Every structure is written in structure tokens, then in C-alpha cells.
């Protein structure tokens, strides 16, 4: 098949037919999830579609990973659940005003993401351990599932929500289970049409054709009518005060952090599949720009979507064109098909979201309990619990990273060792191995017997590294102890980076490195 040059990246060839067909498929797959995620956040479905269009288009053009698809996601929607609750309880903000706060949050989150990219901080995604990601996605899956339980409630005459019973409950369960069955089973028969879209169309046809009395999207909107059209420009209508900024900023940081984590992890996954390399910092800038734009054009915000990105790449798409086609076709649907959205049964969307939660959950993580280190299991559970209880994904990830880092530091602190021997000249040698840093300083100091050592001592760092200021101070104190005892100590095989640390530390502390005319053993080159 004839290949052509990509209009946006002349270094890469692209198959236009494959890109266009894949883009059409992705556009169809985006529709039900964008609607469902918006409803999950308590927003109008149109805000999810607006976000999917604008974020998908901008990241496809500017992003650092051609072929990756972005849009409204569950991870971002979950953040807004907690934010909405606090807005109502703390600031007494309700109704349409809540949406304005969400738009402002998305804009500020976008600014933070752009800063991350400009400052080239995207590489720090490497610091997120696998156990943290297990806990993150598992907690996210549980939150999405629990949020769907509200769909099994109805309002009584007093306006209070209570659990369904009798025929309404039976109908709801039957439609949800049928939706899940179609989503699970259709791909085993054919992949010509996205199973989620097929499930929603089939359930809609059943409910409309047989006149089944069940709640629809219009019911979820309390009878309001969705306004179709091009995403309208809207400066968030919130009080421009310091108090408002301090309220919005933490949630914006959470949205920015969660969005970048999910986007950069998706980027790495697509890199592995395509055997190419994306640009994380460029993707961060693109994600931030997209969120700024979507926040100003009535969208709920979003990030990269693992499922849709895998659909796109599995179809053979490798360039930016597929994402552009998907976004443009999504806009066409918004302009001409939004009225149909109100007729969709909530049971179909509930079944879809439950399948999303099942697919999001890392079932392989359950096998780690008897095979992985205890600290990894603890980290995974802590992240999952924080995510489920507080709906705060960024804090959950941060807590997991801190616990994992402390566990790593403790483990390495226990690894420092010293082999000891006295040579034929009566000189005692300490051969250190393991890192010398704040966690291992105490164990390092315990290795030396200053009072009983001979007059001359050599400490060999060939298998060790001085990592931080605590390590430098430990060397300073050690040499000082030998000097006061009237003995000579030589530091041997200090690496160039260690020497630079010691040189810089001279401005702060007195680094007592004692040289001997015979040995001169401060570095490998001098040994």
C-alpha cells in the first residue's frame, strides 16, 4: 500500500487510509465514555463531549506521542466528585456555579501542566513505583464502581434517594447485566464495531422499542435540555479572590498531577508497543495547553486515554492524523446528534462504567500478595485506600511514592558493609561497599574502631558512593576522630562525583581528607 508523508511530522510516513479509518473507529468509541465520565463527575454530558473534542484535537497536533488519544477520563472525573462535595459543604456553592469552579480548576491545572513541561519535569514519572500504580488504578476502579450504585436509587415523594425495589430494580439489573454481557461478548465475535457503542445502541433500541420505563440521560439532567453547538467560549464565572484561588489550587494540582501521570504512563505503554520513543515534556505542554483551552470552552478537562490509545495503535495508526480525524468526527456528532444523547438509558451507561471499572482494576495485583515484598503490598494498599476514601488521587500517589522511597532508603541503609584486614606493613584497610547516605551513616560509623586501630588506616570506597551531605559530614567526623587520636587516615577510590561533593562542601564544613605523600589515593586516577 502506498505511503505518504505525514503533514505534521515529515520524518514519519503515514498510511492515510489506516489513519482515517482508525480515527473514525476511535471517535465512535469516545462518545459513550465521554458521556459516562461527565455524568460520573455530576456534569452535563455535553461537557464531556466538548472536552473529548478539544483535548483530543490539541494533543493530536501538539503532543509528544503521535497515535495517542486523549479526552475526558474517569481519573479526572473522580477528582471532581470530591470537589463538588466540598463546594457544597464549605462554600455553599450549588447548581451551575459548581460547573464554573470546575472550569476554573481545569484552566489552572493546564497552566501547571505547561509549567511541568517547560521545566522539563516529565522525567520524574520514573519515580512512581509499580506498586503505586497498582494501588492507583485499583482505587480508581473501585471509586468508579461505587459511584454507579447511585443509579440503583430513586427519589421518593419526599425527594430523598432510596434503593430501588421490585420491578424497577429487576429492570435496571437486567439492562445493566445485558449491557455488560454485550461489551464482554461482542469482541469475541467481531471487532468491526466498538462493543461499548453496540451495547448502548442495542439497549436503547430495546428500551425505546418495547417502551420500557427506565431512567434516561434526560432524567439524570433533571429535565434540562442539552444545548448542541460549537464549544462556547466562557471565562469561568467565579469570585476572583485569594480565598477562591486557595480553594481551587489544590484540586487543580490534583487534576494536573493525575492527568500527567496517566498521560505519561500511557505514552510509555505506546512507546513499548510501537517500538518508538515519545517526548514526555512535549506531551506535558500539549496536555496543559489542551486543558487550558477546554476549560475556557466549557469542557471538563481530561488526559490521555489508555483504552482508546490501544484501539488506535492496534488498528495500525502511528501518526497524528488518526487523533485529528477522531476529534473532528466527534465535533460532527456534537453538532448534529446531541439530541439523541438525552434518550440514552442510564442502565446502558451504568453497565459501561462497571465494565470500565472491571477493565481498569489490575487483577494481576492480587497475585502479588504471596510473591512480592511486604513493603510493595503495603504501598499498594495505602494508595488504594486513600484513593477510595478521600477521592484524592494525587495525594494517594504522593503518599505511595514517599512510603516506597523510605522503604528503599531503609533497605539500602542496612546494606553498607566493611571488609577489614591489616596488610604486611601494619596498615589497616576498611573496604566499604554500599551507599553512604543519611540512612546508612550510623551503621557506617559503627564499622570503625578508632582507639584500637593502628597508626595508619586506609578507607577504600571502590565499591561505595558518598550520596549526600550526611555522608560528607560522616567522613568529616570520621577523619576528625582519627586526627584527634593522633592517627593517619586515607580515603581511597572516591569517585569523581564524590570528590565534587566534598569540594563543594568545603564552603560549609571542614572536610578533613588527609593525604599521604606515599599513597595519594583520593581518586582512581591517583591510585
3-state SS track over 318-338: CCCHHHHHHHHHHHHHHHHHH
Rounded to 5 degrees, what are φ and ψ at 372? -100, 160
Helical packing angle, 280-296 and 242-274, nearest 10°:
130
List of residues 6+ apart from 92 with CB closer than 8 A: none
CATH 3.40.190.10 is right for the domain spanning 417-526: no
Strand partners, 5: 13
Which of these, 318, 307, 356, 362, lies nearest to 52 by C-alpha position?
Answer: 307
Cα–Cα distance between 387 and 78 in angstroms, integer? 9
Please provide the distance, in angstroms rounded to a whole number, between the alpha carbons at the two ends of the chain.
63
- Three-class SS of residue 303? strand
- Residue-level pLDDT at 12: 56
Upper half-sphere CA count for residue 273 (Cβ side, 13 Å) = 21
Reference 432, options 450, 420, 446; nearest CA is 420
Whole-angstrom Cα distance, residue 407 to residue 243? Answer: 38
Domain map (residue ranges) of the chain: 14-405, 417-526
State how far the alpha carbon of 252 is from the alpha carbons of 104, 338, 392, 480, in Å: 8, 29, 11, 50
Other C-beta atoms within 10 Å of 326: how many? Answer: 31
- One digit per residue, the tens of pLDDT, for the chain of length 527 reads 344 444 455 445 777 888 888 888 788 778 888 888 888 888 888 899 999 999 999 999 999 899 899 999 888 998 898 889 888 888 888 888 999 999 999 999 999 999 999 998 877 776 778 888 888 888 888 988 888 888 898 877 777 788 998 999 999 999 999 999 998 999 899 877 778 888 888 999 999 999 998 888 888 776 666 666 889 999 999 998 999 999 999 999 989 988 998 898 888 878 877 888 888 899 999 999 999 999 999 999 999 988 788 778 877 788 899 999 999 998 988 888 777 778 889 899 899 888 888 887 888 888 878 788 888 899 999 999 988 887 777 788 888 889 988 888 888 888 889 999 999 999 999 999 989 988 999 999 999 999 999 999 999 888 888 888 888 888 888 888 988 899 888 888 877 777 776 676 665 555 555 443 343 333 334 33
Q: How many CB atoms lie within 10 A of CB 46?
A: 23
SS (H, E, C) 460-525: EEEECCECCHHHHHHHHHHHHHHHHCCCEEEEECCCHHHHHHHHHHCCCCCCCCCCCCCCCCCCHH
Helix, strand, or coil (residue 220):
helix
User: What is the pTM (predicted TM-score) of this model?
Assistant: 0.74
In angstroms, the CA 292 to CA 299 distance is: 10
CB 222 within 8 A of CB 89: no
C-alpha cell at 507: 564552603
Give the pLDDT confidence score for residue 284 in this predicted structure: 94
Helix (H, G, I), strand (E, B) or coil at 353: helix
> 13 has which bridge partners?
5
Residue 101: predicted pLDDT: 94
pLDDT in the model for residue 418: 92
Q: Are 472 and 442 spatial neighbours (Cβ–Cβ below 8 Å)?
A: no
79 contact partners, CB below 8 Å, separation of at least 6: 251, 254, 255, 258, 391, 392, 393
Whole-number Å distance between alpha carbons of 384 and 142:
9
Amino acid at each position: 500500500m502506498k505511503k505518504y508523508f505525514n503533514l505534521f511530522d515529515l520524518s514519519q510516513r503515514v498510511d492515510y487510509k489506516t489513519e482515517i479509518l482508525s480515527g473514525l473507529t476511535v471517535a465512535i468509541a469516545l462518545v459513550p465514555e465521554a458521556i459516562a465520565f461527565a455524568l460520573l463527575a455530576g456534569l452535563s454530558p455535553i461537557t464531556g463531549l466538548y472536552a473529548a473534542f478539544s483535548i483530543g484535537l490539541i494533543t493530536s497536533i501538539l503532543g509528544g506521542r503521535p497515535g495517542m488519544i486523549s479526552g475526558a477520563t474517569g481519573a479526572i472525573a473522580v477528582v471532581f466528585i470530591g470537589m463538588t462535595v466540598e463546594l457544597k459543604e464549605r462554600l455553599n456553592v450549588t447548581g451551575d456555579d459548581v460547573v464554573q469552579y470546575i472550569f476554573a480548576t481545569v484552566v489552572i491545572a493546564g497552566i501547571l501542566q505547561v509549567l511541568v513541561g517547560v521545566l522539563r519535569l516529565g522525567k520524574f514519572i520514573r519515580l512512581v513505583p509499580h506498586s503505586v500504580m497498582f494501588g492507583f488504578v485499583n482505587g480508581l476502579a473501585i471509586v468508579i464502581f461505587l459511584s454507579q450504585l447511585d443509579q440503583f436509587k430513586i427519589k421518593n415523594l419526599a425527594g430523598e434517594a432510596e434503593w430501588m425495589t421490585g420491578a424497577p430494580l429487576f429492570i435496571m439489573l437486567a439492562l445493566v447485566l445485558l449491557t455488560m454481557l454485550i461489551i464482554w461478548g461482542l469482541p469475541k465475535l467481531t471487532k468491526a464495531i466498538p462493543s461499548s457503542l453496540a451495547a448502548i445502541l442495542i439497549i436503547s433500541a430495546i428500551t425505546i422499542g418495547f417502551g420500557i420505563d427506565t431512567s434516561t440521560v434526560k432524567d439524570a439532567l433533571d429535565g434540562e435540555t442539552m444545548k448542541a453547538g460549537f464549544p462556547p467560549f466562557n471565562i469561568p464565572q467565579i469570585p476572583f479572590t485569594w480565598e477562591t484561588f486557595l480553594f481551587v489550587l489544590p484540586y487543580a494540582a490534583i487534576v494536573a498531577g493525575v492527568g500527567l501521570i496517566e498521560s505519561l504512563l500511557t505514552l510509555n505503554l505506546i512507546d513499548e508497543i510501537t517500538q518508538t520513543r515519545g517526548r514526555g515534556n512535549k506531551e506535558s505542554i500539549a496536555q496543559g495547553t489542551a486543558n487550558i483551552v477546554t476549560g475556557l470552552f466549557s469542557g471538563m478537562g481530561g488526559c490521555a486515554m489508555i483504552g482508546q490509545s490501544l484501539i488506535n495503535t492496534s488498528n495500525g495508526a502511528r501518526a497524528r492524523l488518526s487523533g485529528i480525524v477522531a476529534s473532528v468526527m466527534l465535533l460532527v456528532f456534537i453538532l448534529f446528534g446531541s439530541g439523541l444523547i438525552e434518550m440514552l438509558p442510564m442502565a446502558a451507561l451504568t453497565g459501561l462504567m462497571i465494565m470500565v471499572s472491571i477493565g481498569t482494576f489490575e487483577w494481576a495485583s492480587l497475585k502479588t500478595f504471596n510473591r512480592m515484598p511486604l513493603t510493595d503490598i503495603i504501598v499498594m494498599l495505602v494508595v488504594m485506600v486513600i484513593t477510595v476514601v478521600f477521592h484524592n488521587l494525587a495525594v494517594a500517589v504522593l503518599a505511595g511514592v514517599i512510603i516506597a522511597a523510605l522503604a528503599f532508603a531503609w533497605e539500602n541503609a542496612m546494606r553498607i558493609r566493611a571488609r577489614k584486614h591489616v596488610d604486611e606493613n601494619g596498615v589497616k584497610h576498611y573496604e566499604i561497599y554500599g551507599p553512604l547516605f543519611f540512612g546508612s551513616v550510623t551503621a557506617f560509623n559503627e564499622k570503625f574502631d578508632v582507639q584500637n586501630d593502628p597508626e595508619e588506616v586506609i578507607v577504600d570506597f571502590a565499591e561505595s558512593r558518598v550520596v549526600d551531605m550526611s555522608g560528607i559530614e560522616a567522613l568529616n567526623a570520621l577523619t576528625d576522630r582519627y586526627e584527634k587520636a593522633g592517627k593517619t587516615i586515607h580515603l581511597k577510590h572516591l569517585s569523581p562525583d564524590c570528590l565534587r561533593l566534598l569540594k563543594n562542601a568545603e564552603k560549609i564544613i571542614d572536610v578533613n581528607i588527609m593525604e599521604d605523600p606515599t599513597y595519594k589515593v583520593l581518586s582512581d586516577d591517583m591510585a
